[in-house]
């Protein structure tokens, strides 16, 4: 979805869970007189929140054509302390350091938008020592998919539809990571955090994530579900979990080609690799699960 047009921005603004969480965090973190950088400002809603929280200057940065609309929105809302800057994280020059960087940079399962590295360049160049980040930290989480509904859908090519043998590509749907909205009832209740990022110190997108969870019941699982949480401020947390209020973010689905039977009390090891695509934007994701006592490995990978 292009950020040059309104549909993506309308979707985000209509996400009241996301937008109100940012407003509350900005009110908590921004102090009167602060200079604030809003990276990827879009229509400028976070910049307006920052000015209303008392910022003496807000630099609203965006590389899309929406920056011109944001400029008009600022004027029509009587914003006098917001300065628009066109460019991405590698091109932007600001007249001074800032006290706070706020950014809604997170894509599905955190990294899909590829905005982390540009954000960190701006942090290293312009955030003053002791400055604050919104969000302050992010974490990635995995749950086990307990419904076979997706297995049945993804196995369609293996059923000889229309009397045609599609076995040459029958397993391809299982190599793709899907983005969908899962219901709590489609997952086992146990989840695991597989990685945490402190936005004040992280240096880039991690390449390997891992964790171990233990089911409290005998179960058959058919894939992994991934999401992120963002600690926007000390008291404001935003979650994209299937177990939390719905946001515009979707969950990642890593399907298994074959079901995995697990026993109550059995440890399940989970590993994810995030591999940059050479000469392209995006990543290849590889996911692996294994039980601790027997070989029960299932693989899935996708280019995102």
> Domain containing 15 — which CATH number?
3.40.50.150
* pLDDT above 70: percentage of residues in the chain: 94
Is residue 97 located within the same domain as residue 213? no
The active-site residue out of 28, 83, 113, 117 is: 113
- Asked if 271 is an active-site residue, the reply is no
Is residue 203 located within the same domain as residue 119? no
From 119, 134, 149, give the residue that closes a domain.
134
- Asked if 113 is an active-site residue, the reply is yes
> Domain containing 256 — which CATH number?
2.70.160.11
Q: Is residue 1 part of a domain?
A: no
The active-site residue out of 51, 75, 76, 104 is: 104
Domain boundaries, position 53: 6-134
Distances (CA, A) of 105 to 48, 130, 291, 303: 17, 21, 35, 20
Is the pLDDT assigned to residue 90 strictly greater than 80? no
Per-residue pLDDT reduced to its tens digit, 59-87: 999 999 999 999 999 999 999 999 999 98
Is residue 64 located within the same domain as residue 159? no
Is the pLDDT assigned to residue 38 strictly greater than 90? yes
Per-residue pLDDT reduced to its tens digit, 182-214: 999 999 999 999 999 999 999 999 999 999 999
The average pLDDT across 10-32 equals: 97
Is residue 18 located within the same domain as residue 82? yes
The average pLDDT across 232-244 equals: 98
To the question of pTM greater than 0.75 for the whole model, the response is yes
Rounded to the nearest integer, the mean pLDDT of the chain is 91
The average pLDDT across 105-112 equals: 93
């Amino acid at each position: 979805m292009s950020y040059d047009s309104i549909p993506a921005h309308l979707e985000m603004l209509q996400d009241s869970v996301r937008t109100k969480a940012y407003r509350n965090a900005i009110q908590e973190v921004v102090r009167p007189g602060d200079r604030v950088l809003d990276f990827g400002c879009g229509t400028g809603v976070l910049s307006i929140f920052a000015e209303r929280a008392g910022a003496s200057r807000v630099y609203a940065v965006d590389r899309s054509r929406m920056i011109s609309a944001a400029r008009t929105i600022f004027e029509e809302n009587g914003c006098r302390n917001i300065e628009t800057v066109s460019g991405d994280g590698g091109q932007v020059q600001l007249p001074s350091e800032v006290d706070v960087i706020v950014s809604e940079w997170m894509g599905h399962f955190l990294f899909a938008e590829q905005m982390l590295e540009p954000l960190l360049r701006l942090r290293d160049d312009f955030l003053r020592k002791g400055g604050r980040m919104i969000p302050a930290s992010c974490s990635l989480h995995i749950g086990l998919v307990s419904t076979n509904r997706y297995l049945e859908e993804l196995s369609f090519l293996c059923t000889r539809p229309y009397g045609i043998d599609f076995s040459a590509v029958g397993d391809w749907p299982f190599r793709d990571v899907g983005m969908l909205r899962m219901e709590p009832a489609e997952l086992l209740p146990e989840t695991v955090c597989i990685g945490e990022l402190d936005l004040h110190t992280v240096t880039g997108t991690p390449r390997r994530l891992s964790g171990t969870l233990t089911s409290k019941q005998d179960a058959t699982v058919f894939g992994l579900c991934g999401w992120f949480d963002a600690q926007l401020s000390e008291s404001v947390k935003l979650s994209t979990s299937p177990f939390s209020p719905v946001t515009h973010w979707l969950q990642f689905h890593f399907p298994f080609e074959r079901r995995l039977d697990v026993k109550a009390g059995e440890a399940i090891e989970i590993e994810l690799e995030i591999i940059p695509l050479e000469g392209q934007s995006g990543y290849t994701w590889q996911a692996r699960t294994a039980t601790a006592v027997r070989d029960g490995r299932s693989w899935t990978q996708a280019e995102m």
